[in-house]
Amino acid sequence: MAAKETKNSTDYQKILDEANEKHRMVVEKLNEERAMLEARLHKTEEELRHASLKAEKSHQQLKLLHKEMTSRYGEDYDDEEAIVIFHGAIFILQLSYHNNVSKVVTEKLPFNDTSIREFNKLNVPTYDRKHQVKAKELICQAVELLHELVTAMSNFHTYTEQRLKIVFVESNQQQLSPATQKFCDYLHENAAVLRSVNESFNSFYNSIKTDYLISMETIPGFHEFSEAFHKYNNYLKKLLPYYVLSTSEECKASTCSSTLEAYNKALLHSLTKLITTFNKIGSHIGALASASSGSEGILSANYSSLLTLLNTSCQELHECVKVLSSHFQSKVSLEHQLPTVTQTLKRTDECLVSSLVSLVTVTAKIAKFMNNNLEFFSTKSGIKSRGLTTTTGSEMTSSPAVVEFRHHATDYMAKLIKPRPESIPYKMALYNHKVLVSSTESKDSLEKQISVTNERISKLEQDKEHWMLESRLLQVKYERESKKVQALQQELNKALEKDSANFVSGAASLSDETDSASSSLTSHSYEVAPPPSDLGALEALKLEESAEDVARETLIKNHFTQRIAELTSKVQFTESKAASTNVECRALYRRMKQIETVKQELAKSLKIATAKVSQLEDEVETIKRSYETQLSMMSDHLCGMNEKLTSQQDKIEALKSGKAKKGKQR
């Protein structure tokens, strides 16, 4: 028994010695660290002493320099200017060139106007960074709240679509009407519209950096969120008439009682009020976005009132959602008592009720967020212009030109954010220049050729018209002459018939006297003679008619030639214009092809860049997770080590107490 006790005591003694050795090493290490810290403390104290002495000397030199500058340049010289000159002239003082200070003042400070208040309003204002950090934190909270609101509204629309299909198809055993089918299709599109709202606000938040002045005037990207929210309001307006039609169809069902019809009407009224409240919020957001897009006067006059109206609309939204949830729950509780209600409809109604409860929760959060931070949103950020004592808004202390400069600066920063297009290589630019020069030269030569050919064409057209008129006149003359020849032929035939008749009568009376024969011959000669006189009359008539026709034809010819000349000149002008536009269109088409190729190359580079960014983000996430796991493991290890140390100390104390008791017993 004694041997066993001695063995245990030796074991305990070994453990105690090991523990004492460990604690001794720890104490030595701590003593070394303490010595190092004391040495570092002495060193820092020495440095502080030297720095304080140097600061006192510098302050004395500053006072001397200030006295000298005030004596030289008058009482308008203030401390700020002395500090600026001191930093610029301290090197000159160390080299004992004190006379050069006046030269520095005259050459380096040509615009010394801090004492004039009107000029101080033109200085670039500085802003309160704490105010900006808080604004960014609030915008981050708004991002989370908007994400919850979008999720709740998306669930509400999706479960409403499922409920419509279950009510009309499974419960009532009827096909969907065209209006209800269209309503379901529109409800199915809610994810795309709400996703654009969430993404636009996220991009707006990502565009905010610590270097920016967080103000509605200086932050780009809020206008895109306003447009996305306006599209969602239009989407809700498009859904409203289909809500009315579906409610009327539900009320027309045989299982719908008067109480259920009253609940349906109350639910429709609350939905209408909800959509109206969303439209109010969208109009207020649009007014704020118009301020961020560059319209002046909104921030200075109506900014606080717009935020107050937005806060009121958020409170109304929460109340509308609460009323909608209560109406729907009462309607569902009444519907579930009917024998035709299926289990699928009950489950869908439960999901819809949960979505409305989450919507009530998130609208309450939004209303509380707006109400608590309304004063912060309404007050302008603390901006101080150099040379002014007040710390108020920029529009109250600064000049209107500073606001315009701020707008120009925001536009410039927005342009800098856009990706810069790749520049064209020098050889390609020279080649394009040569092509353009050659195209312009060829254009001039082609225009000259076109003008010459157009002149020739106009002359040929005039000659053509002239000879066509001549041919027509000759054809008319030919027809007239042919008609006259036919008339003369008829007259000649008649005269020949008469001569033949007289000749027969003279042959029958051969026995008559020669007087009668001569008289008959003379009469015959006189009867035959008239045709030439008739021909002469016809010839004279022909000459008179030809003179009148020639005058009329010349008038017609002159009129038509003038008209043809005008038309040909118009045709030439239009043809030349068409040719020039054709050449310009070809040049523009070439440029468009080049731009399309550049666009494709930029799209490829953008895809590569986005892939790289996503890869880097994944690497960052993995590194972050590995660091977090390592930190957790190290913390667990430290906790385990502490527990082991405490347990060892307890064992050591127990051994000491046991050893002491044994010594007393002995």
Query: How far is residue 569's CA from residue 458's CA, in Å, rounded to a whole number?
Result: 7
3-state secondary structure of 384: strand
* pLDDT computed for residue 362 by the predictor: 92
3-class DSSP assignment, residue 399: coil
Main-chain dihedrals φ then ψ at residue 252, nearest 5 degrees: -80, -10
Please give the DSSP secondary-structure letter assigned to residue 321. H
Tokens at 284, concatenated: 């207020």
Characterize 427-464 residue by residue with b for buried, 16 or more Cβ atoms within 10 angstroms of its Cβ, and e for exposed: eeeeeeeeeeeeeeeeeeeeeeebeeebeeebeebeee
Q: Which residues of 56-86 are buried (b: 16+ CB within 10 A; e: fewer)?
A: eeeeeebeebbeebeeeeeeebeeebbeebb
Alpha carbon 109 to chain centroid distance?
A: 45
> What is the pLDDT at residue 474?
83
Place of tokens 């302008």: 380
d(CA 466, CA 460) in angstroms, rounded, equals: 10
- Per-residue pLDDT of 413-434, as tens digits, reads 777 777 777 777 888 888 877 7
Q: Decide: residue 54, CB within 10 A, 0-12 exposed, 13-18 middle, 19+ buried.
A: exposed
Taking each continuous run of H as one helix and of E as one strand, the counts in the chain are 17, 2
pTM of the full structure: 0.45
Question: How many Å separate Cα 403 from the centre of its chain?
Answer: 23
Determine the pLDDT at residue 364.
92
- Give the Cα separation of 203 and 191 in Å (integer): 18
CA distances to 284, 399, 411, 415 from 296, in Å: 16, 14, 15, 21
Q: Tell me, what's the pLDDT at 300?
A: 45
Give the other-Cβ count within 10 Å of 126's Cβ.
13
Q: Could you tell me the end-to-end alpha-carbon distance of the chain, in angstroms, rounded to an integer?
A: 14
pLDDT of res. 116: 67
The pLDDT assigned to 509 comes to 53
pLDDT of residue 540: 42
**Beta carbons of 190 and 153 less than 8 angstroms apart:** yes
Question: Is 212 in contact with 218 (CB distance < 8 Å)?
Answer: yes
pLDDT under 50: residue ranges of the chain: 74-97, 294-301, 387, 389-396, 507, 510-511, 513-544
